[in-house]
Amino acid sequence: MALILTVMSSPPRDRLRELLDAVLGEGSDAPASGTRVRLSDLASSAHSSMFHFARQVAAATGEAPVELRRRVTLERAAWRLGEGASVTDVAFEAGYDSVDGFARAFRRAYGCAPSAHRGNGRNGHWLPAPNGLHFHAPGGLYLSSATVPPVGSAGEVVALLVHHDLDDVDRLLTAATALTPDAYRALRLPGHRTMEWGEPAESLSAVLRHLVLDKLQWLAAIDGEDAPNLEGDELADLTAWHNEIAPRWLALMREIDREQRWNDSIVDALCDPPESFRLSEIVAHVVTFSAHYRQIARWMLADAGVARVLTGPLDPDPIIWHRRSGGPL
């Protein structure tokens, strides 16, 4: 992965560049781009012991060498996909042994399948980082001087809640495919409205519609777009819309957190009359009511005869989800 470091803040010394070259694959002794590497490979390219190399990289970047390489490699892959490169080409360029393995890693990082990201650079390619260091197209690095929230900050909690919500909605949409059309639209909570001014949520189809499309209203308000006009509640349509909305929402949350814009406000012209909202208020609203709708959806799935909606793949606990998905986001 030939990379050129574009430093936006003063580097400690050239040693940072040397370490990044060793981690990211620059120089004659560095691991070749597109190959799976181990810590021993990276340390060898830097002519250092594994312990000393790992300690130096962690001290300079706040990130373990293999994790840094994996993240920047995924960022480059996301940029390549956004430019229209094929999933297969990108997967092997990134050093994955199979497209399936790459797809699993990509979905976990970006909240959507690689195919959904292809040709859509709008979703962005930067992932959360403890050091402000990111892939900078077409072949460089960007070292941001912005203040990075400390490890263990509220930003990590928000990231976990947002990512868990999007993944959980995806699981509920998949579970609903087991139902007949009549069971999918059956009234199970007649007259139920979560909010006085909101649309009814009496059936599973209505609840899933809320889970998928409520975020789109806020995306339009934040981005200054016209009110979206998506009609219908067909499960296939909701799934397709979710696959488009989820990566946009995740990318926006990461951008707000990276730039610490939680106290910024927007004036939502879609309201009548227009109303102002803080970004932190919007996210708290979405996470709160989405959690409510997800639990209602589980109850409705159980009422329709879908088994194990509180255990196994449909366990609603973010602790269980986080452990099954492999640890830190």
Q: Is the pLDDT of residue 279 over 50?
A: yes
Name the amino acid, one letter, at 15: R
Q: Name the segment(s) of the chain with CATH classification 1.10.10.60.
A: 4-143
- pLDDT of the residue at 57: 67
Quote the CA–CA distance of 168 and 310 in Å, as a whole number.
Answer: 12
- pLDDT of the residue at 2: 39
DSSP 3-state of 146 = coil
Q: Name the segment(s) of the chain with CATH classification 1.20.120.450.
A: 154-324
Among candidate residues 28, 6, 25, the one with its CA nearest the CA of residue 68: 25
Give percent of the chain above pLDDT 70: 74
**pLDDT per residue over 84-132, tens digit each?**
899 999 998 888 889 998 998 898 888 888 888 887 766 778 888 777 7
Quote the CA–CA distance of 165 and 264 in Å, as a whole number.
Answer: 23
Per-range mean pLDDT, top range of 2-16, 54-68, 221-235, 292-306? 292-306
- pLDDT of the residue at 220: 87
- pLDDT of the residue at 237: 95
Per-range mean pLDDT, top range of 43-57, 96-110, 215-229? 96-110
CB neighbourhood size of 323 (10 A) = 10
User: Which of the residue ranges 35-39, 140-144, 149-153 would you say has the lowest mean pLDDT?
Assistant: 149-153
Q: Is the pLDDT of residue 77 over 70?
A: yes
Q: DSSP letters along 190-227, please?
A: TT--SSTTSPP--BHHHHHHHHHHHHHHHHHHHHTPPP
In this prediction, residue 17 has a pLDDT band, given cuts at 50, 70 and 90, of: low
Q: Is the pLDDT of residue 28 over 60?
A: no
Alpha carbons within 13 angstroms on the beta-carbon side of residue 241 total 22
Average pLDDT, the chain: 79
Phi and psi angles of residue 5, each rounded to the nearest 5 degrees, phi first: -80, 115
The CA-based diameter of the chain, rounded to the nearest angstrom, is 69
**pLDDT per residue over 171-216, tens digit each?**
999 999 999 999 999 999 999 988 887 788 999 999 999 999 999 9
- pLDDT of the residue at 211: 96
Residue with the larger pLDDT of the pair 115 and 18: 115
User: Which of the residue ranges 47-61, 131-145, 209-223, 303-317 would you say has the lowest mean pLDDT?
Assistant: 47-61
pTM of the model: 0.68
Instruction: Give me the helices (H) in 38-189, please.
Output: 39-45, 50-61, 65-82, 87-93, 99-110, 114-117, 154-176, 181-185
Q: DSSP letters along 243-287, please?
A: HHHHHHHHHHHHHHHHTT-TT-EEEETTSSS-EEEEHHHHHHHHH
Q: What's 4-143's CATH class?
A: mainly alpha
CATH topology for the 154-324 domain: Four Helix Bundle (Hemerythrin (Met), subunit A) (1.20.120)
Quote the CA–CA distance of 124 and 104 in Å, as a whole number.
Answer: 18
